[in-house]
A and B are shown apart, each in its own frame.
Chain A
Amino acid sequence: MEYFVQQLINGLTLGSIYGLIAIGYTMVYGIIGMINFAHGDIFMVGSFIAMILIVALGITAGAGFIVLILALMLVLLMAMLFTSAWGWTVERIAYRPLRGSFRLAPLITAIGMSIVLQNFVQIVQGARVKPLPPLVSGGYTIMDGNNFDVQISNIQILILVTTVVLMGVFTYIINKTALGRSLRACEQDRKMASLVGINVDRTISLTFVLGAALAAVAGFMYLLYYGVIDFYIGFIAGVKAFTAAVLGGIGSLPGAMLGGILIGLIETFWSGYFSVEYKDVAAFFILAAVLIFMPSGLLGKPEVEKV
């Protein structure tokens, strides 16, 4: 039982990170019908930007609690800002010129962009893994077992709380604000959106900006949680998040978050009860099974053409 609860906590933490990345995939797919394969690498860039900022600002675990929290919040906001600029630029130079082209063109460009981003970071930051000494340590023992203690670390609390708050804000933006209505209008009917005066190009740019900002949060949390990053983390995390988006129903925002959590849980429980080596197989088996048996995912809507 204790072991199960521990895996649950670990799985939810990992799932939060996947979920935040998955939202970027699903939003872009919803609005322009394209899988942005470079999105995982935007997450990686966000992670590197956070690392650079932490080092540049000289943030260490030695600082007082309040100072540390404020400094990390500052890093997070700046990382979101810079990563958004990357997301915006990628859309502007690599995808927008191809809009209206045949369907495969932006997909191939996205894969190209992914390779470009990976190699760029590899060249400027080096290929070796970058370690970061733990900034947030400590935690709580929440269950005492016979010979197994269930622990939740402060960093896990930080990740879970940040994700919940962020999802709340994000859901509010999408459902209740004029910006959110514009996004949904473009997702449902781009031609009509322009006929009610919405600047569709700008809205698409905003989608990439929002997706990149959430990926930056995920990158930041990944960095604090694992303490090591390299130029290649975006690939695996990206494919897992893509799987999450498909599992939840590509195009569905709650689906992306749910899919992320589920993939995180599946991967963690598989590692905990079976074998760590095959955890990726478990995740990708899910992808294959969903694509075969449930192509519109858990919360996705089947494509219906209304006459």
Chain B
Amino acid sequence: MSMASVSDPMAVPASEPVLAVRGVHTYYGAIHALKGVDIDIMDGEIVSLIGANGAGKSTLMMTICGNPQARHGNVIYRGEDITRVPTHEIMRKGIAQSPEGRRIFPRMTVRENLQMGAGITDMTHFESDLERMYTLFPRLKDRQGQRGGTLSGGEQQMLAIARALMSRPKLLLLDEPSLGLAPLIVRQIFNAIRDLNQSEGLTVFLVEQNAYHALKLAHRGYVMVNGKISITGTGKELLASPEIQAAYLEGGAH
């Protein structure tokens, strides 16, 4: 598939997508933040969404989770229309989000933060899942009794991802996991995402400003400009595209 300019709707893939966003319009008060967005995420894929600050990437993440809800269009998760389902119920269906700004509960310990993530599933897996997270991010084990608010940015990001994983999601939404982190930590986090995808088939939808890393990791990517999807294609295609190199990859890998 070559790059398609997506002002016209994309072809529906043969198998049913895990998540389908169809013609979604979202408003913040009078501000028209998403202007007809279409996205498909297939089972087992890593899909990256890149775009400039304020393009509407995080708004799309939050619209998928129903806060704010889309005014027009539909969000369909595994064949079920979840556009009007309350946020806390969406999060019980197998979607988890590591949100923009990480949003660690600052006055809870690392362990309690992870417990909050697990609160949705039954607690029988808790101890074994906790061990898995500590294996994935050993730093968290050293910090388990410490309050979330006292962690460094990188540790908070690991905690936010681990918290999301504690609910054993089918679809993981990651909003800017590399923001403000040292390159070494970014590599650790991206490696962890790739491992989860390859070993467990976890489906990941990743929002990033760090276009180089995001597209290298992803099977497919979307580019968002001003609340609309402008370009889509495989990760490799997008990385090679002169248009994208000019707009998003200037200066190479950050």
Q: Which of A162-205 contact B (CB under 8 A)?
A: 178, 181-182, 184-185, 188-189, 191-200
Q: Are A189 and B103 in contact (CB under 8 A)?
A: yes
Known contacts A178-B119, A182-B119, A194 near B91 by CB under 8 Å: yes
Q: Are B105 and A192 in contact (CB under 8 A)?
A: yes
How far is the CB of B106 from the nearest CB of chain A, in Å? 6
Q: Mark A268-307, 1 if CB is under 8 A from B, else 0.
A: 0000000000000000000000000000000001000010
Q: Are B119 and A192 in contact (CB under 8 A)?
A: no
- Give the size category of A's interface with B: 10 to 19
Q: Are B88 and A181 in contact (CB under 8 A)?
A: no
Q: Are A184 and B107 in contact (CB under 8 A)?
A: yes
Complex interface: chain B residues within 8 A of A182 (CB):
119
Answer yes or no: B92 CB below 8 A from chain A CBs.
Answer: yes
Known contacts A181-B115, A181-B116, A185-B116, A197 near B91 by CB under 8 Å: yes
Complex interface: chain B residues within 8 A of A199 (CB):
86, 88
How far is the CB of A181 from the nearest CB of chain B, in Å? 6
How far is the CB of B160 from the nearest CB of chain A, in Å? 9
Complex interface: chain A residues within 8 A of B167 (CB):
196-197
Cross-chain contact of B91 among A181, A189, A195 (Cβ < 8 A): A195
Complex interface: chain A residues within 8 A of B108 (CB):
181, 184-185, 188
Q: Are B119 and A181 in contact (CB under 8 A)?
A: yes
Q: Mark B75-107, 1 if CB is under 8 A from A, else 0.
A: 000000000001111011000010100010111
Residues of A within 8 A of B (CB): 178, 181-182, 184-185, 188-189, 191-200, 301, 306
15 additional A-B pairs beyond A178-B119, A181-B115, A200-B88, beta carbons within 8 Å, are: A181-B108, A184-B105, A184-B108, A188-B107, A188-B108, A189-B105, A193-B116, A194-B67, A195-B67, A195-B87, A196-B91, A197-B89, A197-B119, A197-B167, A198-B116
Residues of B within 8 A of A (CB): 65, 67, 86-89, 91-92, 97, 99, 103, 105-108, 112, 115-117, 119-120, 149, 163, 167
